[in-house]
């Protein structure tokens, strides 16, 4: 073999190896992004299912709003089995990026981590003229429908990437 043949073979081998490494790196990054998205979506759905069930069974929304870096929604109700009154609080702490659930001032249970933002909207029972859209209200005592929307995201290899999960739901307080 001549020196020219060895150099050409080395050059071609380096190009092929570089292409394989680039494809492997891209595939690993894509797999991590998809895995993050699936995990975020599963956790968001689980949290939304739990919250929907509890909010539907609540008697009323007593307060909802932002206080400092926290957003809270407080519901009251009566236990279906014992009939004992309870208070259910959902708190999003923006600095910790957590959504927690607290029942009767007990130990907070983290429903979501890596939760960037959450928005609560309150609607009245009556509908808008001639449509099926409820009327927005700022008074918790008039709230019949609660809409919540949150966004969660994660970092991949130190960078915030397209691994964002957004959940939204309108929940009717059945007992009101």
Greatest CA separation found in the chain?
Answer: 91
Task: Give the pLDDT of residue 23.
Answer: 95
* Helix, strand, or coil (residue 110): strand
Task: Give the pLDDT of residue 86.
Answer: 95
Please identify which residue in the block is written with the tokens 């009327």: 135
Four-residue CA torsion sign, 99, 57, 148, 62: negative
Check if the beta carbon of residue 152 is closer than 8 Å to that of residue 131.
no
- Bridge partner list, 89: 74, 102
Check if the beta carbon of residue 76 is closer than 8 Å to that of residue 62.
yes
CA-wise closest residue to 154 among 69, 34, 51: 34
End-to-end, the C-alpha distance of the chain in Å comes to 88
pLDDT under 50: residue ranges of the chain: none
Task: Give the pLDDT of residue 18.
Answer: 96
Phi, psi values for residue 34, rounded to 5°? -65, -40
CA-wise closest residue to 95 among 119, 113, 121: 113
CA-wise closest residue to 64 among 146, 134, 176: 146
Task: Give the pLDDT of residue 133.
Answer: 75
Map out the domains of the chain as residue ranges: 3-172
Residue range 81-128, pLDDT digits in tens:
898 999 999 999 999 999 999 999 899 999 998 888 899 999 987 666
Task: Give the pLDDT of residue 166.
Answer: 83
Check if the beta carbon of residue 54 is closer than 8 Å to that of residue 88.
yes
Task: Give the pLDDT of residue 77.
Answer: 93
């Amino acid at each position: 073999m001549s020196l020219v043949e060895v150099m050409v073979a080395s050059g071609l081998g380096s190009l092929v190896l570089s292409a394989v490494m680039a494809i492997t790196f891209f595939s690993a990054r894509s797999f991590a992004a998809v895995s993050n998205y699936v995990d975020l979506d599963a956790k968001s759905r689980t949290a939304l299912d739990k919250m929907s069930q509890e909010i539907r069974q609540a008697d009323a929304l007593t307060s909802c709003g932002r206080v400092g870096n926290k957003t809270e929604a407080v519901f009251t109700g009566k236990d279906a089995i014992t009939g004992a009154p309870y208070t259910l609080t959902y708190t999003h702490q923006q600095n910790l990026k957590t959504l927690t659930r607290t029942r009767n001032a007990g130990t907070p249970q983290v429903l979501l981590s890596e939760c960037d933002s959450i928005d609560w909207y309150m609607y009245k029972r009556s509908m808008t003229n001639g449509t099926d859209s409820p009327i927005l209200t700022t008074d918790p005592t008039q709230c019949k429908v609660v809409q919540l929307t949150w966004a969660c995201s994660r970092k991949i290899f130190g960078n915030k990437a397209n691994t964002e999960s957004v959940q939204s739901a309108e929940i009717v307080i059945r007992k009101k």
